[in-house]
Amino acid sequence: MTNLSPANEPSIVAEAEAEQVARDRAGRKPLSGWRMLLPTMTPWLAVGLVLVGAITLFGIFGPYLVGDPRQIRDIGLTPPSGDFLLGTTQTGQDVLAQLAYATRGSLQIGILVGVLATALSAFFGIYGAYRGGFADEAFSLLSNVFLVIPGLPLVIVISGFVPRESRGLWTIAVVLAVTSWAASARVLRAQTLSVRNRDYVAASKVSGEKPWRVIVVEILPNLLPVIASQFVFAVIAAILGEAGLSFIGLGASNSATLGTMLFYAQNGFALSLGAWWWFVPPGLVIALFGMGLSLINFSIDEIINPKLKNLRQHRRRARKAARLERELARASRRSRPRAQETDAARDVEAAKEVSAR
């Protein structure tokens, strides 16, 4: 029988914790290479996926479930009701229909900017660092030039030179992508410089592999978590940047986005008239979508920085150890009265033997 004295409780806790860890490892299947590149499911990641998934589904299928967002009616600034779930604008347009089409437009700009900015940063960062020499110096100089110039004023200047009738989704996406790739390229360059000197990359070069194959097969898989994190951040920055441009009148003139909704709400004096249903929904969608992508980005950071995952695992093990310690403490408290009763019974038996003698 195990002795549950206070002196032995820490060792029992340590043994129980070690047994629990061994059982977890024994029942856990080894992860494949691609599975190790995916973030571990956590409550924060689940919340982020739910938010991003819900808003994405609303932007994709919402326009098919609502009416014409440009239809003008003779009921202006109607609060939310059964006929119009999010009310109407100053000219009687359905806010819910506008929100569905605006969400789709903002998602399109976010994806376009994310893909373009990630492609530019990967080319100038990874290819330049792998080639080295003049190419690396030229790409680094170009990156430094874009880093020195403030991003928002540069976007405003470039958008201001584009004619209003030519400012569509693609134009705004190209402007935002061109002005947002430099910082990511510097990060990828530093990561590539540390990877290109490893043994397996040198072995691929010696075996006569082509440069593009070495980059795609040997270097790029090691940088996928960093690239994924940069893509998520680029999408967030693109949606916020487009909303800022549209709010000051430099956004896409022939497309509906969340920024254009805020722009028209400002021009229609929605805040001063108390029409909260006109400007709160687009702002709330931007905030929730940005929060969801940020939570996903935090989970991706665990792959980039293993210390974060180890810290979370240590906290989980500490909670298990504390739970085991509480259970052992309750078990020891329950066993102590029984031990005292046994000792008392032994004393009584000894007293009877003495009296009998």
Alpha helical stretches, state H, the chain: 9-27, 33-36, 43-65, 95-122, 128-131, 133-148, 151-161, 169-178, 182-195, 199-206, 211-213, 220-247, 258-267, 270-273, 276-304, 306-356
Q: Concatenated DSSP letters for 292-307? A: HHHHHHHHHHHHH-HH
Can you give the pLDDT at residue 174? 85
* CATH of span 53-304: 1.10.3720.10
3-state SS assignment for residue 94: strand
What residue ranges do the domains of the chain occupy?
Answer: 53-304, 306-345
Low-confidence ranges of the chain (pLDDT < 70): 1-40, 164-166, 303-317, 332-357
**Residue 250 confidence (pLDDT):** 78
Report percent pLDDT > 70 for the chain: 76
Compute the distance between CA of residue 166 and CA of residue 235 in angstroms, rounded to an integer: 23
pTM for this prediction: 0.72
pLDDT of residue 287: 92
Q: How far is the CA of 357 from the CAs of 343, 346, 348, in angstroms?
A: 21, 17, 14
Query: What's the pLDDT at 173?
Result: 85
> Cα–Cα distance between 288 and 282 in angstroms, integer?
10
